[in-house]
Amino acid sequence: PTGVFLRHQLARTTWIDLDLRAQQILSDHNLVDDDTVLAASIPK
């Protein structure tokens, strides 16, 4: 069970990191609006 828990935590952390990075990239390009942020936050 511990291994599964750790994998889930790692996956969640990775998604959060990717989401934050995507938002940073979008803000760097001044493309941030609600639709853009929403689209960037949805896993493909």
Name the band, by pLDDT with cuts 50, 70 and 90, for residue 42: confident
Q: Which helix (H) or strand (E) holds 18?
A: helix 2-28
pTM of the model: 0.40
CB 23 within 8 A of CB 32: yes
Mean of the per-residue pLDDT values for the chain? 78
Number of domains in the chain: 1
Q: Is the pLDDT of residue 34 over 80?
A: no
Q: Report the C-alpha gap between 25 and 6 in whole angstroms.
A: 28
Higher pLDDT, 35 or 10: 10
Name the residue range of residue 31's domain: 2-41
Higher pLDDT, 43 or 21: 21
